[in-house]
Amino acid sequence: MNKKERAEFVGKTLDALFPDPPIPLQFTNTFTFLIAVLLSAQCTDKKVNSVTPNLFALADTPQKMSQIPTEKIEDIIRPCGLAPAKSKHISALSKILLEKFHGKVPSTFEELESLPGVGHKTASVIMSQAYGIPAFPVDTHIHRLAMRWKLSDGTSVEKTEKDLKKLFPQAEWNRRHLQIIYFGREFCPARGHDIAQCPICSQIGASSATRH
């Protein structure tokens, strides 16, 4: 298969296995979704979902969160890792949302990425999953699978995002992001991966590399 054929096969397989992939993070509104995505950096979705109910019970809006002491936020989110930095980001962005955005989570990349702790990947997740605007968030798992499936060369996350956007129609980007995450968890792990048993790797001559 050439790269285009591999992408088409990947898309068909993902649609068959995960036709309507749910958002793995738990949230109640766009603000809590933003916080959950921020917390997911270098942390599993499962761990984030175990921590956020306690945090959101205290504060589920920028107004409420801005009034919670940073130390209290840090104590609650400690299991997610990087708690000192993440708690400061959460407190600061809550205040900025009130001061600059009337308490609303903005819906442009430029405005989202201006918020403390919000990088391009986090902004892409919000744009795609909260606002339905086509984006292709690339985390380490998607970066790894794109290289394994020979859809990108693995040189950088930015290059992977650019390559995947070229290979898949824009209308598919938002669901492809989620589908690849779910596929990686269930069929295509970084280590101990059995290519022969993988619905995609077994068919497209995937790379056995696992360094990403």
- Return the pLDDT at 206: 74
Which CATH code for domain 3-21+137-204?
1.10.1670.10
pLDDT above 70: percentage of residues in the chain:
97
Q: What would the DSSP string read from start to end of 101-137?
A: STT----SHHHHTTSTT--HHHHHHIIIIIT------
CATH 1.10.340.30 in the chain: give the residue spans.
Answer: 30-130
User: Nearest Cα to 58, choosing from 75, 46, 83?
Assistant: 75
- Return the pLDDT at 207: 66
pTM over 0.95: no
Query: Domain 30-130 - what CATH class?
Result: mainly alpha
Q: 85-142: per-residue pLDDT in tens?
A: 999 999 999 999 999 999 999 999 999 999 999 999 999 999 999 999 999 999 988 9
Q: 190-201: per-residue pLDDT in tens?
A: 999 999 999 999
CATH 1.10.1670.10 in the chain: give the residue spans.
Answer: 3-21+137-204
Which ranges constitute the DSSP H helices of 82-193? 83-100, 109-112, 120-125, 140-148, 157-167, 173-186
